[in-house]
Amino acid sequence: MAKKPAPKAVKKKEAASPGNVNKMVVIGLMLAVVPFSLPSCMVLVAGMLPTLGAYLGEKGDDRYAFLCVGGLNLAALVPYLFGMWFGVHSIDEATDLLTESGMLLWSYMAASVGWLIYKAMPPIISGWLAMNTHKRINGLRSAQKKLVEDWGTGVIPHGLQAPPAKK
C-alpha cells in the first residue's frame, strides 16, 4: 500500500506588522491635513521632487540617498515654509514662491549637495577605515616583535612566523 502524502500546512494570514501600521497612520494623517494646508503641500511637492526621485530611483532596503537628499532638500525649504506659516498662508503666496526662481534654486541646490555627500562619503570612510586598520596592524606587529625580543621565539604559536624585521 502506498502512503498518503502528508497534508499541506495551511498558511495563516499574517498580521499586519507594526511598521506597516505606522506607515498607514502617517499616510492617513498626511491625507487628512492636505485640505487645510494646501499652500504648504504645493510648495513641498514642487520643492521635494529631487527627494522623490532619490526615493524611487534607489533599490534595496538601505535608502541612504533618500535620507541625504531629503534631509538637505527639506532644510532648504524650511525658511520658505516658515515664511508662509507665520505670514500669508494662501495659494497665491505658494504660487508666488513657486514662480520665484530663488526658492526652487535653493531647494534643488541643497538636494545636489545631498547627492554629493551620498556619493563622496563611502570612499572617504573606506579610506579612513583602511588607514586605521593599517595603523592597528603596525602597532600589533611592533608589540609582537617586542614580545619575541623579550621572550624569544618560543612565544610564537606553532605554524606562525616571526614578525618581519623592520629595516
For the stretch 80-98, pLDDT in tens is 999 998 998 899 999 999 9
- In residues, how long is the chain? 167
Residue 54, C-alpha cell as written in the block: 532619490
Structural domain spans, the chain: 52-149
| 19-43 confidence digits (pLDDT tens) | 678 788 888 887 887 777 889 989 9
Would the pTM count as exceeding 0.85?
no
CB-based contact 141:161 (threshold 8 Å): no
